[in-house]
């Protein structure tokens, strides 16, 4: 990448549409990495004129515009797991290196997942509907509670978010089992770590199945009716990863028929969830509108990754958070 610095300054393009934070990032990056020429075009027409000279970019590049960027070496994705369709075939085959924002949401998403665990463990999925009906109906003293020190959490996807979920679950005394495609070391709190090919044998052992995996060709629809039927009738499914990893029609069936005890979802196959979607009227279900990652300091963390990689890029060093484009993460 050092060769890119010979002659004119390398061009970094913040792809439209622009927002206040992207305009601010462009201004800051121009000052913090003066070796780069940083531009933030307001229209795709303007971006199309700039891309033939660009060596780096931030955001989403439509398929037709990628064809105009033969010199592009680095693309910073706008999320840790961009929406379906971001990694189209032409981008996968292009020599550009893609990086993402993984690692900045860990404690926010993990706390959200743990909120679901605690809510189910204490019966909130039963008491919230009763509150809306103005009904005082406590469960018997020795029922309706999951005693966490005797419960098992199966965390599917033990990256940064999954590892933090494991740590929190362990802090409540839970036994934590992890499933991950790449991780070899066991993070704090995880008692056993397995590859995905043994998932079916693990599902019957879990009281909470917690999904953190991204949407990839391998994970799409990985939780379907057959796997829901492998879970305990007393178990809960929690998904804070990506919506397309769970087949929602199968989950709705499982909840209506009592195949599992409940589910907590922050992500969905279709977002926003339509007002007439059957999930709204599904029993023993807690929903939040894709807000698990919300929290303070996110934009500063995003800029820190852009800045670190920009400095590495101009000095010819290896970038951080590099994506395997063929796997989408």
For the residues of 82-144, what is the DSSP string, one character each?
PPTTSS-HHHHHSS-EEE--TTSSHHHHHHHHHHHHHHHHTTHHHHHHHHHTT---PPPTTSS
CA distance 312 to 6: 16
Vertex 299, ends 88 and 210: CA angle to 5°? Answer: 65
Number of residues in the chain: 329
CA distance 295 to 180: 26
Catalytic residue selected from 9, 277, 290, 312: 290
CA distance 270 to 142: 39
CA distance 310 to 303: 10
CA distance 219 to 156: 10
Token reading at 132: 């809306």
Query: How many Å is the maximal CA-CA distance in the chain?
Result: 77
Q: Is 277 one of the catalytic residues? A: no
Catalytic residue selected from 90, 93, 257, 271: 271
User: Residue 54 belongs to what H/E stretch?
Assistant: strand 54-58
Q: Is 108 one of the catalytic residues? A: no
User: Residue 285 belongs to what H/E stretch?
Assistant: strand 285-287
For the residues of 186-226, what is the DSSP string, one character each?
--TTEEEEE-GGGHHHHGGG-SEEEE-----TTTTT-B-HH
Q: Is 290 one of the catalytic residues? A: yes
For the residues of 143-172, what is the DSSP string, one character each?
SS---GGG-EEEEE--SHHHHHHHHHHHHT
Q: What are phi and psi of 73, to 5 degrees?
A: -110, -30
Catalytic residue selected from 94, 102, 242, 302: 242
Q: Which residues are tagged catalytic?
A: 242, 271, 290
């Amino acid at each position: 990448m050092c060769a890119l610095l010979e002659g004119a300054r390398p061009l970094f393009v913040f792809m439209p549409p622009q927002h206040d934070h992207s305009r601010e990032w462009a201004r800051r990056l121009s000052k913090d990495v003066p070796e780069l020429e940083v531009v933030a075009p307001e229209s795709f027409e303007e971006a199309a004129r700039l891309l033939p000279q660009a060596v780096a970019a931030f955001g989403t590049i439509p398929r037709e515009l990628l064809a105009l960027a033969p010199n592009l070496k680095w693309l910073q994705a706008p999320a840790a797991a961009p929406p379906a369709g971001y990694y189209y075939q032409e981008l996968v085959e292009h020599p550009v290196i893609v990086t993402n924002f993984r690692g900045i949401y860990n404690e926010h998403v993990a706390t959200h997942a743990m909120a679901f665990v605690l809510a189910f463990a204490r019966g909130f999925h039963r008491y919230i509907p009763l509150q809306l009906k103005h009904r005082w109906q406590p469960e018997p003293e020795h029922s309706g509670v999951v005693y966490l020190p005797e419960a098992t959490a199966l965390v599917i996807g033990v990256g940064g978010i999954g590892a933090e979920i494991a740590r929190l679950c362990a802090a409540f005394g839970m036994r934590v089992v992890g499933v991950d495609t790449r991780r070899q070391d066991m993070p704090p709190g995880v008692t056993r770590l397995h590859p995905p090919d043994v998932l079916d044998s693990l599902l019957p052992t879990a009281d909470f199945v917690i999904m953190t995996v991204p949407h990839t060709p391998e994970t799409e629809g990985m939780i379907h009716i057959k796997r829901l039927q492998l879970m305990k009738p007393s178990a809960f499914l929690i998904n804070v990863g990506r919506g397309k990893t769970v087949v929602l029609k199968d989950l709705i069936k499982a909840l209506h028929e009592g195949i599992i005890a409940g589910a907590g979802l922050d992500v969905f196959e279709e977002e926003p969830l339509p007002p007439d979607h059957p999930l709204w009227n599904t029993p023993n279900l807690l929903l939040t509108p894709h807000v698990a990652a919300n929290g303070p300091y996110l934009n500063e963390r995003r800029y820190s990754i852009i800045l670190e990689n920009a400095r590495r890029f101009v000095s010819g060093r290896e970038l951080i958070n590099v994506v395997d484009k063929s796997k989408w993460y």
